[in-house]
């Protein structure tokens, strides 16, 4: 495989593009708007600069990585020569089905189609194509350039050849591929999301405050980040979408989203991406924090 197309220049998409490009692949990063692409490549550049500062990469390697990434808004143009397409669009079934139906028409017959979905059925996504044996899940973890895990999800019809090819490819990226079966939430989010939801329920029921809940989990369970802070980092809208997929798939009340989470998403309090979630990430709050450090 030489050419990789990544659909979506958001947090996951730009991280996936960064990782492939850093490992010598030609990457077409595709999004619907130039603004999204500019924001995405700016993030890649900032993260590469951080790697250079930490002496993980040289300046020359950073420049080579950026040269490996082409930015496109035309889906057909971006995927027509790709050997692998990784979809990293919104975690909405209708959006993914529309994309994969188009990919089936635009891509070469032997192109493998992968989704970075964190919860949606690969079998259901594959049904939008005429190449279900070449459709697979590649669930990268955030931040992609740093995190080693890639969940590899085979749908009902995914071939052994496709699984072997994608597993080897993940290893070429320096990742640890872990095969899992196609059930809602797979492994990572089937375990993680109920924990985050329970932390939100604990806050909702007035058992303790935000800082207290996160401190208990960090100090008592050795978690590097508290569950409420992690939910902010993931995006509360993403957490809600994943929980809804699992609740719909299993019909088990333990996956029902906490009313507080639902209301926060409705109010636009999505975490870091919106500037406010369980914590305040606004510029004024950052200024207050900086000011306090010098007092």
Written as six digits, the tokens of 103 are 């990919």
Between helices 210-221 and 227-234, what is the axis angle to 10°?
110
User: Out of 28, 47, 115, 189, which one is annotated catalytic?
Assistant: 189
Cβ atoms of residues 47 and 145 within 8 Å: yes
CB 140 within 8 A of CB 150: yes
118 is catalytic: yes
Q: Which of 14, 28, 115, 118 is catalytic?
A: 118
Tell me if 10 is assigned to a ligand binding site.
Answer: yes
User: Per the residue annotation, which of 116, 119, 139, 154 is the catalytic one?
Assistant: 139
Q: Which residue has the tokens 């699984």?
A: 163
Write down the residue that tokens 């004024």 correspond to.
284
237 is known to lie in a ligand binding site: no
Contact between residue 158 and residue 135 where contact means Cβ atoms under 8 Å apart: yes
Q: Which residues of 237-250 are buried (b: 16+ CB within 10 A; e: fewer)?
A: bbbbbbbbbbbebe
275 is in an annotated binding site: no
Tokens of 91: 């975690």
- The active-site residue out of 47, 121, 151, 241 is 151
Is 263 designated active site?
Answer: no
Task: Give the C-alpha separation, 54 to 236, whole Å.
Answer: 31
**Residue ranges in 80-187 assigned as alpha helix (H):** 93-106, 122-126, 160-172
Q: Is 273 annotated as a binding residue?
A: yes
Residue 49 annotated as part of some ligand binding site: no
Catalytic: 139?
A: yes
Tokens representing residue 240 in the block: 């809600």
Q: How far apart are CA 267 and CA 236, in angstroms?
A: 11
114 annotated as a binding-site residue: no
Cα dihedral 189, 262, 10, 229, rounded to 10, equals -70
Q: Is 31 annotated as a binding residue?
A: yes
Question: Would you say 13 is a known binding-site residue?
Answer: yes
CA atoms of 60 and 218, how far apart (whole Å) = 39
Show which residues are catalytic.
118, 139, 151, 189
What residues form the annotated binding site for NAD(+)?
A: 8-13, 31, 91, 96, 118, 142, 273
What residues form the annotated binding site?
A: 8-13, 31, 91, 96, 118, 142, 273
């Amino acid at each position: 495989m030489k050419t990789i197309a990544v659909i979506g220049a958001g947090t996951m998409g730009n991280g996936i593009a960064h990782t492939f490009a850093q490992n010598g692949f030609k990457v077409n990063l595709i999004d619907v708007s130039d603004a999204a692409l500019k924001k995405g490549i700016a993030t890649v550049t900032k993260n590469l600069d951080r790697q250079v500062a930490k002496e993980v990469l040289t300046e020359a390697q950073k420049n080579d990585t950026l040269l490996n990434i082409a930015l496109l808004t035309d889906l057909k143009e971006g995927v027509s020569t790709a050997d692998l397409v990784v979809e990293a669009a919104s975690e909405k079934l209708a959006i993914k089905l529309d994309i994969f139906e188009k990919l089936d028409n635009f891509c070469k017959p032997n192109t493998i189609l992968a989704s970075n979905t964190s919860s949606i059925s690969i079998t259901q996504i594959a049904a939008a194509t005429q190449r279900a044996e070449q459709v697979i899940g590649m669930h990268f973890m955030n931040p992609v350039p740093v995190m080693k895990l890639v969940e590899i999800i085979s749908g009902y019809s995914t071939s052994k050849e496709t699984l072997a090819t994608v597993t080897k490819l993940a290893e070429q990226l320096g990742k640890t591929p872990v095969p899992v079966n196609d059930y809602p939430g797979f492994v990572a989010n089937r375990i993680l999301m109920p924990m985050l939801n329970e932390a939100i329920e604990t806050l909702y029921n007035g058992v303790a405050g935000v800082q207290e809940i996160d401190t208990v989990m960090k100090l008592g369970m050795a978690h590097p980040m508290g569950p409420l802070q992690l939910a902010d980092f993931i995006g509360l809208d993403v957490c809600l979408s994943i929980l809804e997929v699992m609740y719909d798939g299993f019909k088990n009340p333990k996956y029902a989203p906490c009313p507080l989470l639902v209301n926060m998403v409705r109010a636009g309090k999505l975490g870091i991406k919106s500037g406010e979630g369980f914590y305040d990430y606004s510029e004024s709050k950052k200024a207050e924090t900086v000011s306090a450090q010098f007092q």
